Each structure stands twice: as structure tokens, then as C-alpha cells.
Amino acid sequence: MARVFGFLRRPTVRIELPRLRPRVDPASYPRVNLEDLTPEVIPYLGQAAYVQLAVFEEVSDAIEGAPDVPSKQRLTSPAGKALDKYERLVAELRRLVDDPNAVIGPFTPGIDRYRALVKGSDWHEQLLSVYLTAGILDDFFTLLASGLPGDVSGRCIAILRADTGRDTIADVLSEAISADRMLGSRLALWGRRVVGDTLLVARSAIHLSGNPASDEQRIEPVFTEIVAGHTRRMDRLGLTA
Amino acid sequence: MARVFGFLRRPTVRIELPRLRPRVDPASYPRVNLEDLTPEVIPYLGQAAYVQLAVFEEVSDAIEGAPDVPSKQRLTSPAGKALDKYERLVAELRRLVDDPNAVIGPFTPGIDRYRALVKGSDWHEQLLSVYLTAGILDDFFTLLASGLPGDVSGRCIAILRADTGRDTIADVLSEAISADRMLGSRLALWGRRVVGDTLLVARSAIHLSGNPASDEQRIEPVFTEIVAGHTRRMDRLGLTA
């Protein structure tokens, strides 16, 4: 655990963020053997659960900060669905341990620190952060889930792949960007800004062998796939990733 | 509408708050004819819905401010259930109007102002406010619902009477009060403090005849019943109402 958070505080591996859409279709990349990267099921569930709780809290915070009732209304579905995913992941944990909170607890300082970094300085930046970072982390934890043992693998994939309700967040942002070109430029910068910190959180969840060179090689295809998903979300908003 | 909010800003009728448990069993009071007091169904639904959204937002805010994961975990159920009630009340509105938000919108300034008044200065005061004020407003809107016309009456009662999940809030508070006598004294004061503003919100939802004397007489039994519920909630926490 200490090593994981040590890593979060002091990244030693530079993460290359593609500034352009990847030229190669990510589907053509060789799939990595995820069993090598997937952490133990219990810490996996603890971290994945807390990520969903964090998404819920950020969307709820955006509901509270929304300028009007229609905007609040459009955010209730993503809040409810993140809460539901959190509760389902905690239920998975409860099948394996008596006290899910004891598993989740150690992940909170790192993720809370991360949340403060990517929160954004206004409502639109906050919404963009939730939309992009939750998208990246959902994709990432879904990929990892395929390396989990037995039935829990399929159940976690089903939980994480269930509707997020975040289409409405994208709609709110698209409309705001269409109406205000300056906002679009600012959000494009912000959208690029949050990726690095999010990939560090993702990396902290990966089981590393201790050999930095081979670890890098194993992780690269996963991150390529994840960044492709990020690029699609930026595209949807009309922003250049 | 202007009259309603005018009232919220400048109450002209003094509301007597019993400081002791009512000596007469509230069940023995003659029940008021609620049809006289119940507002039109559309504004009723709009205000009741926004109250549930406000409860959701306050609980979510308390989740975000919770000191640890177990405390967050205990608050997720009341957050989810308030959100569900909000969505069900909006669904009722949607049966009657094309744009529920247009109905809800006018109620937001008054309720948001109220929320700021009763928010409390720390996490325990915030939790106590949610527990007490949501309890009062649920009781009140349930009473009013019995005066609504047709099927919507029963459906609203079913929505508002469904489990609130707030037992866990009471548990969190009881434990904190048991562990800290000073906190109990402070919360007892705070619990009395929030009632007056909450009854003003309740009153703003009532259909008034315009005759202050007869209005007072019609409202009194409703408020007696509501204050009895408040006293039970304070009792449960070991606080004197």
C-alpha cells in the first residue's frame, strides 16, 4: 500500500499523453495479458468502490452547485447510478470480508488528494472532470476486472459496464460549449490537464512486478486503449484531446 | 407565489414552539379537514419534489464532509432514497405538465434560503438538521397529500411514506451524543433552532384563505401533529425538544 501511495506522490515514470487522436486503431493493438496486471480481488474492489463513491460525491456536489433546476435534474441520474455502482461493489466486498470499510479506507487519502487536483475551478470544469475522469477510471477498472478470478470478474464487469447516466453531463457540456467558444478553449485545456493525474490513479491500482522496464511494456497497451476512450469523450464534446 | 415568499421573508404570525413534550396525545386532537389546506396538486408536487432534492443534496454534502468511510457508507442509503423520492415526484409532475422544472423553479429561492438558515456550522449540526427538518417536511407533505384529488393522493403518500433510510443518520448522531455530552447540549439547542424556520416552509405550502384568524385555527392541529413527530425524533436522540 505504501508503495502505491508513494508512487502517487512521486511518479518516477513519465506518462506520455497523446495530444492527437492515435493514428492506429486501438482495437488492433495486441491485448495485454491482464491477469499479470490485475491486483488481488479485495483491494481491487475496495479501490473500485471508492472511485464510484467519489464520482457520486462529485456529481452531487455539481448538483448542489448547478445554476438552475433543469441542470440539477439532468445530473440526478449520473449521481444515482454512481451510488448504485458503489453499493453493488461494496456488496461484492461483503461477500469476501466482514468489514468493507476497512478495505476501502486505505484508498481514500490517495483518491481524495487526486480529486482535489482535478476538481476544476468552476462548475463546467467540475462537470468536465467528472465526465472524463470517471470515463477513464470506469474503462480502466473494467479492463482490470477481466483478470479477476471466477464469477466476480463477470459481476464486476456487469456493474462497471451498466449505464452511467453520464450522457446527460456530456449534453450539458456540449450545449455550454456551443454557446461559448471561449469556454470550449478553456475546457479543452482542462480536459487535457486531468488525464495525467487520472492515469496515475489507474497506475496505482495495477499490480506491478517491480521491474520498471517490463512493467512499462505491459502497461502501455492498457493505457493506449484508455486514452483512446478519453479521445472519444473529448471528441463528443467537440474538444481536441 | 409572491405572497408565499413574501410570507417566508416576513412572517406576520408568531409560531409557538412547544419546548416540552405536548401534554395531550396528538392522536386525540380533532383532525383538520385537510382539503381546506392542501394546495393545488401541481404546485404541491413541485414543492414536495424540490424538498426531496434539497434533502438529497444535504445528505450528499454530509457524505462529502464525513470524517471517514464508515460514516460515508451510513449516509449513502438516505441519499439514494431521497433522490428516488425526488424522481418519483417529478414523474408524477410529468403526468400533469410538460415541463416539471418550470413548476419546481419558483420554489427554489425560498427553499434555498431556508436551507442556508438551517445548514448548521459543522457536520453534526448538518446531520441533525437533515434528520429533523426532513422528518418534519415529510410528515407535513404526507398530511397535505391526503387532501389531494384522486389517485395522486395515494401515490404521493406512498412515495413520502417509503423508507427514508434516515435511521442511520439517527444512529450516527446518537453515538456521537453518547460519546460527548457537550455535543448533546449543543445539538439540543440546534434542534430547537431549526423547527421555526421549517414550520415557515411548511406554512408557505399551505393554501391560506386570507383570513388570518381562521387560518390559524385550521393550521394549528396540523402543526401540533408535526411538532409531536419532531419531539419523537429529538427523544430518539436523547435530546429534549
Tens digits of per-residue pLDDT, B219-236? 888 899 999 999 999 999
Q: Report the share of chain B in percent with pLDDT over 90.
A: 73
Residue B1 lies inside a defined structural domain of this protein: no
Q: Is the pLDDT of residue A68 over 50?
A: yes
Average pLDDT for A160-185: 96
Kindly list the residues from chain B whose CB atom is less than 8 angstroms away from the CB atom of residue A83: 76, 79-80, 83
Query: Considering only alpha carbons, which residue of chain A is nearest residue B74?
Result: A101
Q: What's the pLDDT at A3?
A: 41
Mind listing the pLDDT tens digit for each residue in B111-148? 999 999 999 999 999 999 999 999 999 999 999 999 99
> Going by C-beta distance under 8 Å and a sequence separation of 6 or more, which residues neighbour residue B78?
B55, B59, B130, B164, B165, B166, B168, B169
CATH number for position A55: 1.20.1260.10
The CA distance from B99 to the nearest CA of chain A, in Å, is 9
Alpha helices in chain B (DSSP H): 2-9, 41-64, 69-96, 100-104, 108-118, 123-145, 150-161, 167-179, 181-205, 212-236
Q: How confident is the model at residue B20 (pLDDT cuts 50, 70, 90)?
A: very low
Least Cα separation, residue A180 to chain B (angstroms): 24
Contact at 8 Å (CB) between A110 and A122?
Answer: no
d(CA B161, CA B143) in angstroms, rounded, equals 11
Please check whether residue A10 lies inside any domain of the structure.
no
Is residue B62 within 8 Å of B127, Cβ to Cβ? yes
Number of domains chain B is built from: 1
Residue B76 lies in a domain: yes
| ipTM of predicted assembly, 2 dp | 0.75
Question: Which of A65-69, A200-204, B82-86, B104-108 comes out lowest in average pLDDT?
Answer: A200-204
Which amino acid type is present at position A61? D
Q: Say which residue, B238 or A208, is predicted with more confidence.
A: B238
Distance between CA atoms of B201 and A144, rounded to whole angstroms? 50
Q: Which domain holds residue A221?
A: 32-236
Here the cell at position B186 is: 449543543
Angle subtended by helix axes A150-161 and A123-145, to nearest 10: 150
pLDDT attached to residue B33? 61
B85 inside domain: yes
Residue B1 has pLDDT above 60, yes or no: no
In a domain, B178, yes or no: yes
- Interface residue ranges in chain A relative to chain B, Cβ cutoff 8 Å: 50, 53, 56-57, 60-61, 63-64, 68-70, 72-73, 76, 79-80, 83-84, 86-87, 90, 100-101, 104-105, 108
Structural domain contains residue A161: yes
> Rounded distance, CA B226 to CA B134, Å?
12
User: To probe the interface with A, which of B50, B64, B77 has the most A CB atoms within 10 Å?
Assistant: B64
The answer to whether B93 touches B42, Cβ cutoff 8 Å, is yes
Write out the residues of chain B at the interface with chain A, using a CB-CB cutoff of 8 A: 50, 53, 56-57, 60-61, 63-64, 68-70, 72-73, 76, 79-80, 83-84, 86-87, 90, 100-101, 104-105, 108
pLDDT at A216: 84
Q: DSSP string spanning B104-125?
A: HGGGHHHHHHHHHHHS-SSHHH
Quote the mean pLDDT of chain B.
Answer: 87
Instruction: Examine residue B114 and state whether it is found in any structural domain, yes or no.
Output: yes
Q: What is the pLDDT of residue B36?
A: 77
Q: Considering the domain boundaries, does residue B57 fall inside one?
A: yes
